[in-house]
Amino acid sequence: MMYDNKATMIRRELMVKIAQLYFKGTLCEEINRIPIEMFPKRSGRIRCCIHKDRAMIKYRCIAILGHRVEDEADELKPLSEYAREALERTEIDPPVLTVLDEGCSSCVKVNYFVTNACQGCVARPCMINCPRKAISMENGHARIDNQKCVNCGLCKKACPYHAIIYMPVPCEEACPVNAISKDEYGREQIDYDKCIYCGKCSRECPFGAIMERSQIIDVLKQLSGDKQVIAMVAPAIIGQFPTDYERIIQAIKELGFSSVAEVALGADITAANEAHEFAEKMHENQPFMTTSCCPAYTEAVKKHIPDMQKYVSTTQTPMYYTADMIRERNPEAVTVFIGPCIAKRHEAMNNTSVDYVLTIEELGSLLVAKGIDVNNCAAEPISEPAQNIGRGFPVVGGVTDAIRQTISPDMEFKPFVVDGLTCQSLKVLQAAAKGKAPGNFIEVMCCEGGCVAGPGVISNPKVAAAKVKKMTGQK
Amino acid sequence: MDTRITVRICTGTACYVMGGANLLTLEDYIPEQLHEIVSIEGSPCLEYCKSKEKGAPPFAIVNGVIIDSATVGLVLDEIKKQAHID
């Protein structure tokens, strides 16, 4: 689905509203009004009625406040209570995603649907070829019985008019690892033994029924506390606002962060270590090495391609090195990673040097709530600038470029780039792990296009990639 | 056709975050016959987001006509209307 859609905009609008109330100091007092403000009496409705629309807004707010919607025990519990709990919370807990089961429309009971292009023909090959006798004729049109259909697709193949279409369940189709499926009521649920936290389901659901559990309240609370709060910005941020990098960094400071570090600094270290490791592994005659910087990919290896584990670089991620550096210099400070990624939120929960994670979308919403215009911020020089090598990581092929530039030129380097984790590309990786490697260096980016196309971005990925490349001189 | 059409897209942060980011791809969708007369420019915050009466961000202006909750489609419609093409 195009990332720019109504579900995304509603989510951002709610984040802005919640953050505005926080800044005003009236979060608990006024948050119960948000569903009514969004859908006032006699306003247009999106779902069956404004009451359902309001109920969904409430659930969205619960997720933005960082709670798990599935945990709702008392439907009468007001948002103000959820807000109070969020304000009192000192710890965050997994999982990073939550399913708004009331929001899930339990869409597409079976994947095959007879359109009105059906001519009710004499031959009726759909009926004759259906192995389950699931097709009958009603008013001169074929009809599929949802109870009997097993999604074999023979009817679609058989129809001479192409009148039967395949309809996917968008979240299930987007999930590269089959981690999301319907429960007994037809509503989607996530199996966290399989989930790689890529966020593709959340992005693809046309009902916006899968959300991240935001940490904006936790971060806002830290920003108004006594401790220093240090932001670590992923290089993907370069293309995320219509202005230059320096102003974006200044805008983050104006939100209340005491300093901002480029995660590209860590990426520079990742590139150096990974290049060194690659040379070593090739020297030891290992057939190939694969990247470790994409947390959704490393999670996929752990849960779905265990044979690949020994080929994954043991070099740490850019976030790891950056957080490590900050902790060492400033052990008391609170650290917040800001990037385009949902899987990073999971990675951060397993790294004691990273306290919180914000997506770029959340950062944008906080800036809007505080009335900070990035274009108007001063462009002060970055105090500790990273190299172009590290800044190039978020565009697909960027890590490969970084390794190419770092290894010795006479080394044999046969890179292969997996641009986006899908069921198909996972098969390629599974084959590679079993000895059919298409090169000696495999870069894997879970999001097609790289991190600039992550689930938490604001900019159009093409525009963003062009901006990163312009800055780093990548082709 | 001698009319020039100037499109100003607000690049203030509120507009950009609330969907304006996608308006920056508008240029790719301008019909070929209008390339000569349409010019697209980014504008600093137009301040429309400060008052609710103007509508909701993102905002764009096509020769003085303000479009709120702007999308590529809505802006294109206004351009075509002003250029008198369907």
Q: Encode pLDDT of A69-107 as tens digits.
A: 999 999 999 999 999 999 999 999 999 999 999 889 878
Give the pLDDT confidence score for residue A36 in this predicted structure.
97
Which of chain A's residues have a Cβ under 8 Å away from the Cβ of B12?
373, 375
Query: What is the pTM for the complete model shown?
Result: 0.94
ipTM over 0.90: yes
Average pLDDT over residues A241-256: 96
Instruction: With beta carbons under 8 A apart, name residues in chain A contacting B24.
Output: 242, 459-460, 463
Q: Is 70 exceeded by the pLDDT of residue A214?
A: yes
Q: Is there a contact between A459 and B21 if contact means CB atoms under 8 Å apart?
A: yes
Mean pLDDT to the nearest integer, B28-52:
93
Q: With an 8 Å Cβ cutoff, is B82 touching chain A?
A: no
8 Å CB contact of A367 and B16: no
Domains in chain B: boundaries: 5-39+58-83
pLDDT at A443: 98
Amino acid in position A271: A
Partner-chain residue, chosen from B21, B42, B45, that has the shortest CB–CB distance to A373: B45
| pLDDT at res. A186 | 87
Cβ pair B16:A361 closer than 8 A: no
Report chain B residues whose CB lies below 8 A from the CB of A454.
none
Tell me the domains of chain A and their CATH numbers: 6-106+170-213 (3.30.70.20), 112-166 (3.30.70.20), 219-472 (3.40.50)
Taking contacts as CB-CB distances below 8 angstroms, the residues of chain B near A16 are: 17
Residues 26-45 (B) with a CB less than 8 A from some CB of A? 42, 44-45
How large is the average pLDDT for residues A137-156?
Answer: 95
pLDDT-derived band at A2, boundaries 50, 70, 90: low
